[in-house]
Structure 1
């Protein structure tokens, strides 16, 4: 469905037939990527500004998907990261309403399963309202735990439907894609690798098997030092 580029002025507010995709609130940066070359960038916000990390999703196909909106002044098309048939992008949003739109294979698109807003020229954009977002607190978690222990809601056996087995696997958390071994070495001293992100520590990464060889890598920390170990494993039957 091809539509015209958006304008910032909006009027009528309407809702799509489906509900808006569940927003995942996680992290403090924005994940952008094209193909497997994902990278993290910081979203520029005024110092001390109250922001909400927001995950945008596109689940309607395409090869190259970008997103733009009022959160960046419609000035930049940010590439979304692909995982299976879905695309995601994380941005820090200031509280309030934000319009956005997707660019799918060079066509302006809006997600029909997310909230929509029509501007004065009749263009339809998606929007999200994070004015009243409140992070979960320990008190909320305690209440949920009490609900789980309610005798009126006992544990039971549940046989998943066949559709559960055909779904795409859950996407890998964006911050785990920044593998230190995939980064270019510094130009000053090639013997030293950049400092890895703490969330990537103690995770075992492996490459696809090529020429009968699998390469595995893991990074550990001891006090202020980081050690990355690489294992080369020859597959059985390889020459």
Structure 2
């Protein structure tokens, strides 16, 4: 089965519905549309169109445009075993009535393949839930502040921090509406702790 469709110049997305499933053709180029679905596309330039069947481009003063379409192509050739009655029936139909397209029907119903596409998006989001975050590495689980110090007499002396906590911002839990923020910085062999109550 074949059909000729007059389309205006530009890029047009194409999707094929086969046995109720939307598929792409491997013989056409593919792209991702606005909804993230893989589709085929056609690029039609004004040079590709025959001069008799070009779609006129609208001007600023025109409110409507007319589109000339090519004559209809028969979908199948008549077989040689047609009877005289069918030949007479075909000859009684005026040729102008076979070329007129059927009037378009507009409905408020959403096609089933579009509803299925929306359900497919819901299924994807449920199937691709984010995994739980990884646990902290061992070097970040050791807290220097408020920990036991190597010098029992002087509580202001802290042990040397791990290299992984340098230049990181640390916060304490909120106690009495006060949040303590600290940063650890190293200069040569010296380590500095800066505390700022917020």
Q: Hey, which of these two has a bigger chunk of strand by percent? A: 1
With a CA cutoff of 8 Å and minimum separation of 6, indicate the structure with the bigger relative contact order: 1
Q: Shorter-normalised TM-score: what interval? A: 0.3 to 0.5
TM-score under structure 1 length normalisation? 0.28
Larger CA Rg, structure 1 vs 2: 2
Q: Which has the higher helix share?
A: 2
